[in-house]
Structure 1
Amino acid sequence: MTIFEYRRFLLALCACMACGVLATVALVVIVDPYGLYRVVDRPGFNAVKPGLSRYQVQIKQAHALRLRPRVIILGNSRAEIGFDPAAPAFAAAHGTVYNLAIPGTGLGTSHHQLVQLLAAGVKPATVILGVEFMDFLALTSPSTASAKPAGAPDWQAPWQFDALFSLASVRDAIHTLRIQHDAEAATLSPAGFNPLRDYGAHVRIDGYHKMFEQRARENAATLKRKSVTALTQEDFQLLRALLVQASASDAAVKLVIYPYHAQWLAMLEAAGLWPLFEQWKAQLVREIAGVEASHPGAAITLHDFSGFGTYNCERIPAAGERNAATRWYWEAGHFKKALGDVVLARLLSQPGLGLDSSSLVANTRRIAAERLECMATQPGVFSSATKMFDPRDRPRGEKPL
């Protein structure tokens, strides 16, 4: 091969590589699997976006910075799956509503999200924050308490380049084209809501009973690692910082204690964690009062949707009822949009029903009364929860309260 031929070969090779790079970038930009570029948005082609499997925090934050929402929803997967920004309760909202909730994350992520929005000049008028009891529970093994939680976001990652130019992005672009007419594909709405369509396939194949059973085993394993004697103060500090930031920006904050299914609450009882659950609510009330005392203009309300009421005590289909469906819950870990719409309607239309120091006792009595009624109609929920916890399995030194 002559020098001239070698140069021609190198030029051809470089041209092929450049064309490959351009084709890759063009595919990702045009199909736009993450909704970042918005060059093309066509029904049947790329209007349906797949669920986020990477850069969840960063991509959702980029959407919020672009949309500049007046109402934001923060929390974990319960909030992402349950609270739809397109819910009727938001019909009167003045401005965009966006769901910033990220599965598997806690108050550290929520606080950082809010701080980033405020730093960019985005000042939401209303912040709806789901507070997760599990996040406030100390671990029985202190050596693992400081470990970085699974799914914790890396805020410094060079995600923009990787989201544009990577094989993973090409894969997600091709996947986007495939799911346009797939009613059971995992998706994410333009407003950040996850309709959990992929659960449809699990329900159709396994039925609701198996889904509840599997989630119960997972929850039991998690609860057995939690201390029954102490709450961790780190999350209270993060909550306080978030409330101060929101109040300083004149945002109204609505804290939501999720509408946990009766099965989950029965497991709290069986694990010996119910006294801490009550203690946690009382401390939330005190934290709010403390922020309001230092920021007189703060508008913070706490709403407790936990309990054993009609919604929470929804019947779990039996093992043989493969075609039986639930209305309010996917499983004890996640409530459906239908129940989320009910929660949002009450949250936004009944602002005077928040939980405070004057209503704590009445709230405890309400839940106790609901428990008796739920136990009478669904005794299996409580008996099965008790069987999952054997006192002999509790780590040495841990005693029920």
Structure 2
Amino acid sequence: MGGVGLLNRVVDPFWYYRDVAIEGFNAVKTKFRRFERHVKPAILARERPEAVTLGSSLTEVGFDPLNPAFTDHGRLTGFNFAVAAAQWQIIQCYFKYAIGHAPIKRAVVEVRPMDLADADCAVPEAALDIATPAQLLFSTRALKASIETIQGQGKERPSHTREGQYFYARYDPGVESRFREILGRRLKKGQCDLAALRQGVSAALLPMKDGPMRQLDLSGLRKVVRIARAKGIELRLVVHPRHAYDYEMDALCPAAIDQWDVLRQMASVVHEASGGDDRIQLWAFVGYDTITGEPVSANMKLWQDPLHLNFEIGDIMLNAMFGRPSPGSPNIGRRVFPENVDAIRRDFLEGRESFIKANPWFYPGLRTLLSQGRGS
């Protein structure tokens, strides 16, 4: 048993101890991606960062926790505490865990236009399953992971940075095929009207319809804001951008909900629960521009698929939210208040029309992707 523990301690397959890294032996932690939900909370509790990002893979891939604006030029220790496939209840429970186990001063939390209810972090689907020292050193799973880590050297690339950012498909070719797959999947889900797109109608004649309004349960959002206010945490709640082709699917397929009404509801909750504390802000990054409208190709610079952005966009977002806008970059995000949602919607629609009219390749490219995505 002692030999097993020593091997697992040195190989450190789950990247918890982080003090032995030997090229060709254990430098690439091939098992971290699979076990991140068990290990990231333990790492946070031990390393005690002061600035964290929380969310799903959108945040885990898109935000570099070493960004100078986010870390206040290195004055704060940053950590990407997002995990792949996390839904709101997981995000909220990770937030509560983080502030209970580290001296958090700044947090960026991903939100989406959906119910953001208060989560019970004790139920199995939301509870954190954190690896214990005994599991890290003496379990059969750890031994198997150590052996496979050694065998995987030279065959696999690192999946994450030391600070928790996920590379995902950043270095993989075939971005265009991922666009086809994801847009095609969305096409098959809904009752989409492709007649206008087939006819090559201009953007001005292809209306962007709002979905139905519905009162959302935002009790979890309210709880996060109140906790941040009580503890003096600088909080940024962020709606991530999507690629312009994914926005355009909103014009082709029935929307499940009115995203602008949702944004207004969220802004109202944030304003009320924060008590006007300017350290707590809601930001939305929506629009058609040279960033969200990057032409789709096999090797794109800014996007890994229609939803996952590279950290180059994430840096622009973090710079905007923390007061250091990136020189020469388009203004892709705005702070959201209840009273400016109509203006954000208007600018979105006007920007959409002008962008598509200025880029005649836009609709032909979308038609090609959708026809290939449907297998036709």
TM-score (norm 1): 0.74
Which residue matches 1:287? 269
Q: 2:147 aligns with which of 174, 177, 180?
A: 174
Task: Give, in angstroms, the shift of residue 362 of structure 1.
Answer: 2.0
SS at structure 2 position matched to 1:358? helix
Q: 2:364 aligns with which of 376, 380, 395?
A: 380
Q: 1:69 aligns with which of 46, 49, 55?
A: 49
Determine if the alignment matches structure 1 residue 354 to structure 2 residue 335: yes
Contact 1:32 1:46 (C-alpha < 8 Å) held by counterparts: yes
Structure 1 segments of 4+ aligned residues over 6 angstroms from their partners: 384-389
Equivalent positions of 1:75-114 (< 5 A) are: 75-89=55-69, 90=71, 92-114=73-95
Residue by residue, what CA displacement relative to the aligned partner does 1:243-288 show, whole Å, maximum 9, x if unpaired?
1111111001111111211121112332222861111111111111
Equivalent positions of 1:2-401 (< 5 A) are: 21-50=1-30, 52-89=32-69, 90=71, 92-120=73-101, 122-133=102-113, 135-136=114-115, 152=125, 154-155=127-128, 160-182=133-155, 185-196=157-168, 198=169, 200-201=171-172, 203=173, 207-220=174-187, 229=212, 231=214, 233-234=216-217, 236-273=218-255, 276-293=258-275, 297=277, 299-317=279-297, 324-350=298-324, 353-376=334-357, 377=359, 378-380=362-364, 383=367
> What CA RMSD, in Å, does the superposition of the two structures yield over aligned residues?
3.4
Per the alignment, do residues 297 and 157 of structure 1 end up closer, same or farther by CA in structure 2, a change over 3 Å counting?
closer
Q: What is the distance in 1 between the residues matched to 2:230 and 2:264?
A: 24
Amino acid of the residue matched to residue 287 of structure 2? G
Q: What is the distance in 2 between the residues matched to 1:219 and 1:162?
A: 40
SS at structure 2 position matched to 1:48? coil
Amino acid of the residue matched to residue 246 of structure 1? A
Contact 2:8 2:137 (C-alpha < 8 Å) held by counterparts: yes
SS at structure 1 position matched to 2:351? helix
Task: Give, in angstroms, the shift of residue 368 of structure 1.
Answer: 0.8
Larger Rg: 1
Q: What is the distance in 2 between the residues matched to 1:217 and 1:22?
A: 53
Amino acid of the residue matched to residue 359 of structure 1? N
Please list every run of 5 or more consecutive structure 2 residues that lacks an aligned counterpart in the other structure: 192-210, 326-332
Task: Give, in angstroms, the shift of residue 112 of structure 1.
Answer: 1.4
Q: What is the distance in 2 between the residues matched to 1:241 and 1:381?
A: 43
Return the structure number with greater helix share.
1
Q: What is the distance in 2 between the residues matched to 1:170 and 1:223?
A: 46
Return the structure number with greater strand share.
1
Per the alignment, do residues 290 and 381 of structure 1 end up closer, same or farther by CA in structure 2, a change over 3 Å counting?
farther
Per the alignment, do residues 38 and 313 of structure 1 end up closer, same or farther by CA in structure 2, a change over 3 Å counting?
closer
Which residue matches 2:205? none
SS at structure 2 position matched to 1:72? strand
Count of aligned pairs: 340
Contact 2:28 2:158 (C-alpha < 8 Å) held by counterparts: no
